[in-house]
Amino acid sequence: MIKKILIGLVSFIILAFITIYITTRPTSTEDGAYIPSPFALKLATSSTTDFDNTIYENPHTGNKKVLMVCTEERNMTMANGKKFSTGNHPVEMLLPALHLKNAGFDVDIVTPTGKPVKVEMWAMPDEDENVKAIYAEFKKQIDNPRSLSDFVQNSMNDSTDYLAVFIPGGHGAMLGLPENKDLNKLIHWSHDNDMFMLAICHGPAALLAASLDSDKDSFIYKGYKIASFPDAVDAQGPMIGYTPGSMPWIYGERLNKLGVTIINQEADNTTHIDRKLITGASPQAANDFGKLAAHALLKELK
């Protein structure tokens, strides 16, 4: 009897380990990259969002818009050489855009060269009708965005329609944008013209582009406090199979060295506004981040 119990216990333990192993392994994609494991997706994504459809009593009726800067790169090569299939997080793109739209602001989308926006479709909340609707509305722009390079070279200095620049998160914000010279010019232009900068989750990584032609002491966001995705949480990614390996570089650490303080320690719903820099910690912050941005932009125009 005891022998049967022990055999059953061992079998249960082996089965449990196999189940844990399978559910925490990142899932391979057709191009040889990996998306998060089933376990990680269950922990970190949801089929719905907390979008609250805030009604803005006095929405903007003029021509002021928001310029959303997205990544056109898909795969992040991790420290171990494996590739993480990423892009921009749909919730971090679309919930803030919903609030901006409801507040009366159009959103124009650009990528570095005008190639299609890469979206983390594995994070799409497929049962959220509001998000699905705004995604359908933006689909044409997502597939055929404007070129940031062209905008900077030919339109930026004469543009008066934009009130803010918005950089959504997803690990894709770390691909190409932090070292992009056109984004460097855009950030400085927006800052010099007293515009708002909106960045959520990994989006603040792209703010590193502002340091390309400056030293630590002249970084335009030196002394700012932000809410952003914590490096410590990124470090846990391989443990649950969210990422197929450790991060190739640590963006929060680089911002810290430039004098930026990240105020949150968890990937939670923290939002923050410091002067005209509005930030949020994670997808959980997207709804509050969108409201904070919408209210700030409307207040600016009063």
Q: What is the mean pLDDT of residues 257-283?
A: 98
Range of the structural domain that residue 63 is part of? 2-300
Q: What is the mean pLDDT of residues 131-141?
A: 97
Q: Which of 70, 199, 201, 286 is catalytic?
A: 201
pLDDT in tens, 163-199: 999 999 999 999 999 999 999 999 999 999 999 999 9
- CATH of residue 137's domain is 3.40.50.880
Are the C-beta atoms of residues 35 and 44 closer than 8 Å to each other?
A: no
- Cα distances (angstroms) measured from residue 302 to each of 59, 99, 198, 201, 205: 11, 18, 20, 29, 31
pLDDT above 50 for 16: no
Annotated catalytic residue 70 = no
The per-residue pLDDT for 8 is 55
User: What's the structural domain count of the chain?
Assistant: 1
User: What are the helix (H) ranges across the chain?
Assistant: 2-23, 38-44, 90-102, 129-143, 148-154, 181-192, 231-235, 237-240, 251-257, 286-300
